[in-house]
Chains A and B, each alone.
Chain A
Amino acid sequence: MLQVLVNSLALGSAYALLALGFVLILNAVNAVNFAQGDLVMAGGFVAVAFGMLLPVPGIVLLPLVLVVMALIGRALAAVAYFPLKSRPPVSVFISTIAVGIILQNLANALFGAEPRAAPPLFAGGLVELGGIVVSRQALAIIAVAAVMIAAQYVLFQRTALGRRLRATAQDREMAEALGIRVNHVIAATFAIAAAYAGAAGLLLANTFFVTPTDGGNYILKAYIAVVIGGWGSVPGAVVGALLIALFEVMLPSLPLIVPGLAGLPGASWLFSQTIATILLYLMLLVVLVVRPQGLFGEAVQRRA
């Protein structure tokens, strides 16, 4: 039971980094970055590539992945956001889909379609902790993600750059009229968002491997997390991501936890990954229709 919990927490932490990046861009420019999932995939492959060059644990690669992904994020802003910033938000939606196609096929051309694994953060294997056996990687993912989420919090709440990022997200024109170079701030937002997605890619690419087509799955997770958590809410996105992962891991594991369930007719069909995903989407639709402000209420009003 606890083991399942640790696993879902690990998956959820990685989703949280992804969703965090998604919501940062959403707040900064009021546009959906559909390439966010492909950035996770790209981060995974960047980690794979560095892993081939340097035989070191993943934690050492993390800073390298963050830097490369930040640059990719900056480039994403340059090609898919800035040329379109005075057009309707749907243009950015489509342009980021295009960037997603490029990233996906670039990965395919460079690495091939087979699943690849990035090096583990510290070491693989299992560790016994208070009587239960959990994977080292899962614990490491939780730790790294927690540190990064905390870092994001500190950056946004306690630094001058963070103030400018938030001010720009809340009222772009006013921020600019107060001397903030809004374009620089937006570029920084894209860089941070991409770096966080890349980190998620590194974290996931050991346990779950990485293939060029992974992006579509991840963007949906980010999207759902942000809707569940409340459109535009940063803490909501983190909580939403954790809930998604909990559900995804828990449902297929239910027969292992609750005795007797496995014996029911159709159990293997019902308690499957696919059913979990279908239920997730159906829940999403229900949330969208019944409670579009998200499960936890609306994000703080953008404008006074």
Chain B
Amino acid sequence: MTFPEEKSTVPTVEMRDIVLRFPGVLANDHVNFTLYPGEIHALLGENGAGKSTLMNALMGLYRPESGEIRIHGERVSFNSPKDAIAAGIGMVHQHFMLVENQTVTENILIGLDTPHFALDLKKFDHEISDLAEQFGIHIDPTAKIWQLSVGEQQRVEILKILYRGADILIMDEPTAVLAPQEADELIATLKGMAAQGKSIAFISHKLNEVKQVADKLTVLRRGRVTAERVELHDFTRESLASLMVGREVIFNLHKCEQTPGPEVLRLENVSALNNKNLPALRNVNLSLHEGEILGIAGVAGNGQSELVEVITGLRPCSGQIWLGGKDIANKPPAFSIQQGLAHIPEDRIGVGTAPNLSITSNIIMKRYDQEPVSQKWQLDYVAADDVASGLKTEYDIQAPNVHTQARKLSGGNLQKLILARELSSLPHLIVAMQPTRGLDVGAIEGVQQLLLNQRSQGCAILLVSEDLDELLSLSDRIAVMYEGEVAGVICSEDFDITQIGLMMTGTTSQDLQTQKEKPSASNFDKVLKNLHQAEEPAQAGTTATPELPFESKTQADELPQEGLTSPHDDSYQHLTEKERVLRKVLGDKYKQGDTE
């Protein structure tokens, strides 16, 4: 498809009929991709659809089997990234390509030809500050990479490209690792760069984000283009999703009505410290019943991960945790597993699996001591493979065979592997932390459906998520956590996204009841105004933000720090910080409400 207004300009990048094959996989099957100056072009697709592969081919990391690449109209053939860099292409990889113990400047200078030998780092520090300023990026060029936040590291990646004078930027899922406010800053930076004439290819599998940032869109599915250079406003979220996944995606899963059964889990006065030995949980009381999903909402870092860890036996705590009539607090995880606990951890690679072991080994990790896998003192690997193949088929884990290493699986398949192991143990209680984060729409639907199936089979589920939509659609009750305490528990019939949002930022449910006028989600300003007024009398540094924005760091250093609270006395800071949290909480809903 070509557009009349584009015929006049030469595309910066033109990829035609690209074919790329990996052993056993056709990663790109005659893919076309065109990029014009000054545009942000989104490349949308599921994990493993071939987006990154295509862009790596453009970067000269992979060589296409056939097809042609033209840069500014001229045909090129890259042998290494060096050629691509020389042609003005730069890529920010999903996993940052930075040397941790080198400075920002050193990282930017890697791979250049001049100066040939001696490096006068001070001179380059200045050059890089100037360049950063030109694009409105704040960074200290003498800082070591490990001292920087993820968002700052990403800026280093962008600077690396800009310093090489690139006019084509490839961003590989850049927001996957960022906090919402950092993502906003990034999108603003990218738009600014596009306005200065740079061409940006933006890889993503997040539909909302693509709608927010991109001018044009190309969709890939299983290595093939399903929509090429289309305008974004022609599409709804649903139609984009079906282009990506190749079938209808159900965004609102059907949840059957059922009455919860007897109590499965009860937490009594549970308190715990975090890794820095500061209080992370304070007198948490919760109860969870058979056939019930209890959602845990909260801004990241308000005690959710510690809550999951104390229940799963990974963190010491005070108080009692009753599971099926036994106190599992401070007991080894094996004991809780015997009581019917299943854990779907947040960190799939570090905690959820042993990445270098096979699918089989990962599957039998919880049942190695049970028949048929366990034969007295040895393991029956034939039986183990049988179990694993059975579950591989049942849970549709896509891998060549059960001997494939876990780390070679895509994010969605890795999560399916964990779910297969955990759910096949027929648990009474599932503790799931961020079970759908980083997955694409198709995989999210699958995971959520599995959880709902468990619910209808009478399993109790504790679901921790930062995705409020997910919590609202799956949970029977939602407990909101704020600074290690349960700020309130809301039943599904009373779900109100604004109320949950306010509780996440530190307004207790009692405070909300005394408030006569209930703020509505569609009136954002009003919410903020109310929030600000409600907070004013309480005041004095009880802000909800566990992380500081970078700009306020210097300012924050001058203020005294007390316990868990972040020092933001300035009322403007206060408001924007609230705003950011609320935007994170309500953002999608708010904008969606606008467009529909």
Same assembly: no
Chain B residues proximal to chain A, CB less than 8 Å:
none
Chain A residues proximal to chain B, CB less than 8 Å:
none
